[in-house]
């Protein structure tokens, strides 16, 4: 039985969700710059609109203390562990409109397609919109799914500060999400299976001319903050032989990060210094302090640790030669996830029944599914995005690609739900 996906409705809802932002549409057709930071007015308006869609579909809606939103299609045996799907709808500044949102709206359309076809699932199917997958506001990614999986201490989470020095507890309560974060964690048998739909955020499917990616592994992310303390002064009066320039030291450390990642010769090893804050930040003042944030990812945590060992060795050398001090803070160092063979097989069976070309692949970006994997069997479905571009306004997936993904997700959920 073919499941009828409403392609026009899916595209219209993707466009509507993209409109919950203060950034206007720009560029070529299909491009839209989106900024939607967690618990801002744009985020709250998007949440209210999404809940109205869930209720229109007859789904039972609940929210937890951190704002994770659950929309459940109740099955014929509601006491069984549910089948889950979903993603996030927050977006970093000047991002695109497909990252995360396809997994939420596509998950909703997959449920509606089954409803149109008269499917009666045995297990309940639950769609989740996770809070703050992006680290934009509180400095740590996958905030909601970490708490849901029990991998983040609730007290530490509530004490996280945003750029205005407001703690998460105060911000979430102001947004209407009160309660004890210890209650967010789900029991280990809550989900029998989990499948997330997402754009690839890489170029492989498009380059190979394939329609679906079946994710077998999700890379392990680690994040670090470094503070380099040197000695500042007047750019004209502080002579070159006497300098302990924190920015020059930071430049060497950044290059050492690149060198360490390349030295593994592994395609799945990536390392990025994404933020550099220079103090005092004046053109005529020698930098006295620099703050760096480092992101290191790999499907092999031992290889990732080797990269960090090389970076620390380089830092020790820089400190000695340049007379600076470097402090390191580990933000997170997460384990990779391996997809469930059974769910991978279900996704591949769906692709074959629908006549869609597919391949197995690794997700080098990390997703909420990485943390759901701590409490349930998971896998992911990727669809191609133009040029492999993501986290930019020109992030783009065709409506045909999105529809293919929804069809595969719907067939997979139908299979997993029984």
Q: Tell me if 198 is assigned to a ligand binding site.
A: yes
Alpha-carbon gap, residue 32 to 272, rounded angstroms: 26
Consult the annotation and say whether 391 binds a ligand. Answer: yes
Tokens of 103: 């997994």
Q: Is 94 annotated as a binding residue?
A: no
Tokens at residue 326, please?
A: 């470097």
d(CA 179, CA 183): 8
270-279 and 289-298 beta bridge pairing: antiparallel
DSSP label of 66: T
218-242: buried (b, 16+ CB within 10 Å) or exposed (e) per residue? bbbbbbbebbbbbbbbeeeebeeee
CA separation for the pair 82, 145 (Å, rounded): 17
Contact 39, 90 (CB under 8 A): no
Neighbour order of strands in the sheet with 220-229: 270-279, 289-298, 220-229, 325-333
Enumerate residues 6+ apart whose C-beta is below 8 A from 97.
14, 15, 17, 18, 32, 34, 91, 395
Q: Is 88 annotated as a binding residue?
A: yes
**Is 242 flagged in the annotation as binding?**
no
Helix 101-116 and helix 399-417, axial crossing angle in degrees, nearest 10: 60
d(CA 329, CA 169): 22
Burial (Cβ within 10 Å: 0-12, 13-18, ≥19) of residue 320: exposed
Residue 65, CA distances (Å) to 114, 157, 177, 250, 283 in order: 30, 12, 5, 39, 46
> Residues comprising the binding site for Zn(2+)?
88, 99, 134, 198, 391
> Residues comprising the binding site?
88, 99, 134, 198, 391
């Amino acid at each position: 039985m073919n499941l009828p996906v409403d392609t026009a409705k899916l595209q219209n809802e993707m466009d509507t969700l993209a409109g919950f932002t203060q950034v206007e549409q720009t560029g070529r057709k299909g491009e839209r710059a989106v900024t939607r930071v967690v618990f801002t007015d744009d985020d709250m308006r998007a949440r209210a609109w999404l809940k109205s869609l869930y209720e229109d579909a007859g789904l039972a809606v609940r929210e937890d203390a951190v704002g994770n939103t659950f929309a459940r299609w109740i099955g014929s045996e509601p006491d069984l562990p549910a089948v889950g799907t979903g993603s996030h709808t927050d977006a970093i500044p000047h991002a695109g409109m497909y990252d995360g949102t396809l997994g939420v709206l596509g998950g909703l359309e997959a449920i509606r397609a089954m409803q149109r076809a008269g499917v009666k699932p045995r297990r309940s199917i639950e769609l989740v919109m996770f809070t703050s997958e992006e680290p934009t506001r509180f400095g740590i990614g996958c905030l909601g799914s970490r708490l849901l999986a029990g991998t983040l201490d609730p007290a530490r989470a509530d004490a996280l500060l945003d750029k205005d020095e407001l703690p998460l507890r105060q911000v979430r309560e102001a947004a209407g999400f009160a309660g004890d974060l210890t209650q967010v964690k789900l029991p280990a048998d809550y989900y029998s299976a989990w499948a997330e739909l997402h754009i690839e955020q890489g170029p492989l499917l498009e380059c190979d001319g394939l329609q679906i990616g079946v994710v077998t592994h999700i890379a392990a992310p680690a994040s670090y903050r470094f503070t380099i303390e040197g000695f500042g002064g007047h750019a004209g009066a502080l002579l070159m032989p006497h300098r302990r320039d924190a920015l020059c030291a930071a430049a060497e450390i950044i290059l050492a990060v690149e060198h360490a990642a390349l030295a593994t010769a592994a395609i799945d090893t990536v390392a990025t210094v994404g933020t550099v804050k220079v103090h005092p930040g004046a053109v005529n003042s020698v930098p006295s302090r620099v703050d760096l944030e480092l992101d290191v990812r790999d499907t092999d945590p031992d290889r990732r640790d080797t990269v960090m060992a090389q970076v620390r060795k380089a830092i020790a050398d820089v400190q000695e030669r340049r007379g600076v001090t470097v402090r390191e803070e580990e933000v997170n160092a997460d384990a990779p996830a391996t997809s469930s063979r059974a769910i991978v097989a279900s996704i591949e069976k769906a692709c074959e029944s629908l006549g869609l070309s597919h391949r197995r692949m690794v997700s080098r970006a990390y997703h909420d599914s990485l943390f759901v994997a701590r409490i349930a069997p998971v896998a992911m479905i990727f669809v191609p995005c133009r040029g492999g571009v993501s986290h930019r306004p020109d992030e783009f997936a065709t409506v045909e690609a999105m529809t293919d993904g929804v069809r595969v997700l719907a067939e997979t959920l139908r299979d997993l739900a029984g």
